[in-house]
Amino acid sequence: MLRVVLDTNVLVAAVRSRRGASFALLSRVGTQAFEIALSVPLVLEYEEALLRQLGKTDLGKSDVEAIIDYLCSVGTHHEIFYLWRPLLPDPEDDMLLELAVAARCEAIVTFNKRDFDGSDRFGIRVLAPAELLREIGAIR
């Protein structure tokens, strides 16, 4: 099964709009369409970013907790050791790349594809949410 790391911006987009590719992708997490890799720092980043959306969306704190709990229950958990820093311009992006390498992911899913230039050196593709949906056959 295809294993990916979801960038935080994909989760934020999914909770802000139910119409886009991010929501469609998040709706397929845990359905065997693909697998997500997680680390403790990434889960904490997810939680912080989603909590910042309170008041901007119809989500409450309990909704954010439920999303995080669900992701943790279906994702594969991996330790990362920050071996290659700095590699990418943004240290938080390095965290995603290192997780993708440690978890043997095929791709990082993000809206900021240029921020991950160089990921291909590790055999990691960088896909937009719609590209992953196409790859798993969810859209044309």
Note the pLDDT tens digit of each residue in 77-126. 999 876 666 788 777 789 999 999 999 999 999 999 999 998 999 999 99
Range of the domain at 116: 3-135
**Does residue 119 sit within a domain?**
yes
The larger pLDDT score, comparing residue 82 to residue 29, is at 29
**Does residue 82 sit within a domain?**
yes
Q: How far is CA 113 from CA 7, 66, 131, in A?
A: 10, 28, 12
**Does residue 140 sit within a domain?**
no
pTM above 0.75, yes or no: yes
Distance CA 48, CA 76 (A): 20
Residue 61 has pLDDT above 80, yes or no: yes
Residue 71 confidence (pLDDT): 98
Asked whether the beta carbons of 35 and 76 are under 8 A apart, the reply is yes
**Does residue 22 sit within a domain?**
yes
Residue 113 confidence (pLDDT): 95
DSSP conformation class of 91: H
**Does residue 20 sit within a domain?**
yes
**Does residue 108 sit within a domain?**
yes
Domain count, the chain: 1
